[in-house]
Structure 1
Amino acid sequence: MDLESAGDRDYAGAVAVKGDGFGQSAALATSIPSLRFDTRDLPVEHQFEAWRAFHASVLDATLSPEARQGFVFEQKVWNLGSLAFTSARMPGRPVPRQWRHIRKDPLDHWCLVLPESAMHAAQAAGAPPRQVHIRSLGRPYEGAAADSSVSTVFIPRDLLRPIAGVLDAHPGTLEPTGMGGLLADFLISFERRLSTVSADEMPSYVEAMRAMLSACLAPTSDRVAEAQGQIAATMLERVRQLVHQELYCPELGPDMICRRLGLSRSRLYVLFEPLHGVARYIQRQRLLAAHKELSDPAMARSIGQIAERLCFSDSATFSRAFRNEFGCSPSDVRATAAGGTMPTPARLMLPMMNQTAHLGEILQHLQI
């Protein structure tokens, strides 16, 4: 197919473009919907053209020879009124892509791009440092990538007008350490929570994003102070991720956390004060992991083996802590699971909203 005519076909209308709330309970029934774009049900020879058509008002993409073998692409788009957040998964290295920005008023938005965001969120072993890139849709730009996932936040120029000069002069890539690394963690944490955001909460989420971007991209004492809430929440999330990553390590504790994350002990204790302390948090996560294993009839480890694996000094200490936490013994949970009576969390299936839109349409309607 001729590349220039690819955008003229209404692939977006033929693709699965729908909204969903991704809710987990009735309390989340009012969460803001996301637009989902998915090419997997299209013939392989049309998948790349469909992706290109969906983005045609924002960028122009080049068809690679590998894309003729298929381009399975899924993207979710959340419209928060004053900004848009997208999360995409794609084939990755087998199918590289090239693109260039299309200069089209009024799309002079900035976009912050975090490649391989899903891999980083999972804390894959050997993953390179998180690195955020900043671009302007109002300026010429050509790029190429072979990422398997990417998260992007689109920000209207007026939302960050006070630091516009700084952003216009930005080299385009943030260092993966310091405030740049903190911003990468914040974007991942922000995305995780989007499925639970209600319409009433959107302004506060937008304000949190504005404050964090200002503090990380153009730091001053005032801007950093304004973003302290978001910075503390992001640092807390960093610690939580490390705890889950090292849950079975006997050395896990305040010293390891401070050393690995560059935190002072006083800062760590302040962060975990609302959670009754970092040691209490670590113990609770280990007990939750034990409860999950005991609830699985297929798991064959003894209670003593589970206790040792989760770094408890002995089975008696483990059982006592377990009973204090859950009001029952480890053997009670195992017996109940063996009887097949463990409850399964109910999932609310929200109705799909049939709607078709292009990414450019959403970006054009972002308002301050």
Structure 2
Amino acid sequence: MKIALIHFQPPEYYPPIVNICNYLLKEIDQSEISLFTNSTNTELIANISLKKIYKIFKFQKNDKRIIRMVKAVYFNLYVTLQLFRLKPSTIFYFETSSSFPAFLYFLFYSKKTRLYIHYHEYTSLAQYKQGMLLDRVWHFFETRFLYRKAYWISQTNEYRRDLFSRDYKFVNPQLLKVLPNFPPEPWIVPLSAAKEKMQKAPYRIIQLGSISTKHMYAREFFNWIKEMNGLFMLDIYSFSTQPDVATYLEQLNCPFIQIKGSIAYAEIPGTLSDYDIGVVLYKAYSKNVVYCASNKLFEYLSGGLDVWVSSVMLGSAPYMRSGSYPKISFVDFENLASLDWKKLIDRDNLAYEPSDYYMERVYRQLTEHFI
């Protein structure tokens, strides 16, 4: 069984592709798995142990639009030629930006090859119309051809799956799957580690991943941290800090907020051990966000941290819990003045309930499909 994974975007920014690759290594002979992807100039390369990784080009921040387009065309042609050489039994591509090699392959040769598709994010029909030209072109071929060839199409939760089903009514609902973005099971901490959290002030808060004042409640949360005057400390870990965030923090001059830079995905569990609370600060700027349960929610939870989630993220509703710890709570980041933070951090008479959300539990269905 030969499996070809196609992931146009750099995997170091997408933990789920890292987890899927590493999980497949345990279940399937790695000599049969090939990953076609790109990379960045960052030194924080994804920790993927596959032998056959084709890193086709590097993204450069200062690439002009025409250079990016040339690289994208080269990627698609190169991967297509490799697919014809390998003749895989399974092609699994991630996101529309990775779809065109699969289209060309299935257009001319599809004997005994199954097609799998996964979306890290839900993209509405309106977003496709307003998006990048190449993505609009690739998506045209997805809807006219690839969705009819697919053996599996997955979204990260039931809400996004249902939105996708409404957008593409011609797709057989039985093909639509849910493949959540959960961390590895070994990340889940024991009781001895979890009960050390939330013992005394200052309570340490972590924000993992990208942050901005435009699409996130960063400004509002920064102001609240300053008003708490040392009761809470906030550390930000991100590959890149948007200029608007850096400028605002400089103006705010708050000693209780620090930008720590970036960390590799494999370093997250060790980093979480130093914190009490993790935050998910997104605003409701798209359906994708509204119906999202962020990777960060499950990563924080695995480390025994309480999780504060923006109350506009309805896709996180099934995971809220207050009868055990760590808690997962909705927070109205637009009205932090009324936040009852003492109630949120209270763990009196609560028992530890370790996270039940880990990748091995959900990826098993994927390998069963492959086999």
- TM-score normalised by the chain length of structure 2: 0.27
- TM-score normalised by the chain length of structure 1: 0.27
Bigger relative contact order (CA 8 A; separation at least 6): 1
Higher helix fraction (1 or 2): 1
Pair member with larger Rg: 1
